[in-house]
Amino acid sequence: MSCKKSGMYQNQRRTVLPKKLSACFLLLIVLIMLAAAPLYAQHIARRLGHPSTRFADPVHTPEDLRDRLSSEELKSDVAVIVNLCDGWQGDIEDFFRAVATAPITSLQIPIGARLPAMSARKDGEVILHRDVLWMGNEPIDAYEFSFYSKGRRYRCVTPKLCCNFWVEDIGTDPRTPVLTIECNVPDTILINRPVKVCLTVKNAGDAPDELVTVKLPVPTGAIFTKSTGETNAAASRVVWRISNLAPGSSKQLCADFSAQQTGSLTFESSAHGVVAQPVETQCTTRVSGIPAVLFEVIDLDDPIEVGQQNTYELRVTNQGSTALTNVKIICPLEPSQQYVSCTGATTAQAQENIITTVPLAMLSAKDTAKWYIVVNSIASGDVRFTAELSSDQFQRPIKETEATHQY
């Protein structure tokens, strides 16, 4: 009896244990399926464009799309949708730059296409349907554009009829745009004259950059006059924006300035893209002033008696905008006069009745230098005291004569 009971219990164990295991396996499979399943159900779309569910009014041209997605009225809603899109890791400002500048092309979405998402509205609020199956009666006419943000490439697709756009992650692109920038300016220019600065920006990489920004600050000592770029008065700089700089292509950008002071004038510029790394360059020109001089010779006594000393004041005024260098005066005396002394800016020496001043190293713009030359009146006559001025800035000497009557 006991053996039979024992056998019965054993049979029960053999039959009950597999049932428990089957239940466990079934539960495990259900849990796995639930974990793998999306948190949202597929949305089947059959009609587009209803005023109560469409994201915005229909668009008919690429310009319509740019205006719609960048309008102040919709901008915050657009940002909400972009941030809801699966895979979005970019900067929203890159998206809005692409809206303004990226090439927009047309496409058709066929019936039965499975779309990653589609924006819409519910009770006036923006929503995003994920995993959308288009089962309408006709293909969807749409616009698309692509752009980079934070090292990834994205595509924005917008059905024309309803503006129910979405953004999808295309992935990383192994190609890279690489920028170079060169600056060109004349070696020398004259003060207060226009100077043209030209920048050449090139994409030396193997991928396009959808927006390259070039900046040229206005250096101290210069005034901006005109350019094809934007001017930022507060930041004192010129800004250019180049859309979709293709590989191997370049763009020349020029701006005009006026130099306001002599010396070196350095222009520092920079460029950066949405993907391309920033680059910088600089170029320097030398601003030269315009030489101009006023040379005056005055006899302090006229007429003068023979045997008396007479003093001639020689005055050199730099009327130009550049310094005069190696300023020297030569005075060949007539036989009726004899050199006595020289004082003033520099000393002088006389040889064979020719007076030569020691050169003045530099006479700054608007400054005046004076010499006082004393001579003896040794014979009567109508004398011409002649002085010749020379400096590095003038190819020919500047002559001045003062008449003195000796009696």
Q: Could you read off the pLDDT of 54-75 as tens digits, one per residue?
A: 999 999 999 999 999 999 999 9
Domain membership flag for residue 36: no
Domain count, the chain: 3
Q: Please state, in angstroms and as integers, the Cα–Cα distance from residue 10 to each residue in 5, 17, 185, following that order.
A: 9, 11, 101
Is 96 strand, coil or helix? helix
Domain membership flag for residue 28: no
> Of the candidates 288, 303, 319, which is a domain's last residue?
288
pLDDT given for residue 206 in this prediction = 87
Domain membership flag for residue 99: yes
Is 155 strand, coil or helix? strand
Indicate if 160 and 211 belong to the same structural domain: no
Q: Could you read off the pLDDT of 90-109 as tens digits, one per residue?
A: 999 999 999 999 999 999 99
Indicate if 184 and 240 belong to the same structural domain: yes
Q: Please state, in angstroms and as integers, the Cα–Cα distance from residue 240 to each residue in 104, 213, 229, 255, 399, following that order.
A: 22, 6, 5, 10, 53
Domain membership flag for residue 73: yes
**What average pLDDT does the structure give for the chain?**
89
Q: For residue 211, what are the contacts with CB-CB under 8 A and spacing of at least 6?
A: 97, 98, 101, 241, 242, 243, 244, 273, 274
Return d(Cα 389, Cα 329) in angstroms, integer. Answer: 5
Answer whether residue 219 shows pLDDT above 90: yes
Asked if 364 and 358 touch (Cβ cutoff 8 Å), the reply is: no
**27-31, 122-126, 259-263, 280-284: which has the minimum mean pLDDT?**
27-31
Please give the backbone phi and psi of residue 156, each rounded to the nearest 5 degrees, phi first.
-110, 125
Helices (H), 185-278: none
Indicate if 189 and 162 belong to the same structural domain: no
Q: What is the pTM of this model?
A: 0.50
Domain range for 121: 43-171
Answer whether residue 34 shows pLDDT above 70: no
Indicate if 199 and 155 belong to the same structural domain: no
Indicate if 116 and 191 belong to the same structural domain: no
Instruction: Count CB atoms within 10 A of the CB of residue 33.
Output: 9
Q: Please state, in angstroms and as integers, the Cα–Cα distance from residue 279 to each residue in 205, 208, 214, 365, following that order.
A: 13, 16, 10, 39
Indicate if 370 and 401 belong to the same structural domain: yes
Return d(Cα 83, Cα 78) in angstroms, integer. Answer: 9
Average of per-residue pLDDT across 74-99: 95
Angle between helical axes of 92-101 and 62-70 (0-180°, round to 10): 150
> Of the candidates 271, 288, 305, which is a domain's last residue?
288
Indicate if 100 and 152 belong to the same structural domain: yes
Average of per-residue pLDDT across 349-365: 94
The structure tokens listed for 346 are 């520099």
Q: Could you read off the pLDDT of 252-309 as tens digits, one per residue?
A: 999 999 988 888 999 999 999 988 999 999 999 999 888 999 999 999 999 999 999 9
Indicate if 211 and 315 belong to the same structural domain: no
Indicate if 166 and 47 belong to the same structural domain: yes
CATH number at residue 367: 2.60.40.10
Domain membership flag for residue 283: yes
* Amino acid making up residue 191: I
% of the chain with per-residue pLDDT over 90: 75
Q: Could you read off the pLDDT of 161-198 as tens digits, one per residue?
A: 999 999 999 987 677 899 999 999 999 988 888 899 99
Indicate if 300 and 277 belong to the same structural domain: no
Cα 246 → chain centroid: 19
Domain membership flag for residue 108: yes
Domain membership flag for residue 266: yes
Asked if 379 and 335 touch (Cβ cutoff 8 Å), the reply is: yes
Asked if 83 and 192 touch (Cβ cutoff 8 Å), the reply is: no
> Of the candidates 254, 288, 322, which is a domain's last residue?
288
Indicate if 158 and 119 belong to the same structural domain: yes
Return d(Cα 190, Cα 41) in angstroms, integer. Answer: 74
Asked if 372 and 267 touch (Cβ cutoff 8 Å), the reply is: no
342 confidence band (pLDDT: 50, 70, 90): very high
Domain membership flag for residue 20: no
Neighbouring-strand partners of residue 304: 406
Indicate if 238 and 265 belong to the same structural domain: yes
* Amino acid making up residue 372: Y
pLDDT given for residue 28 in this prediction = 56
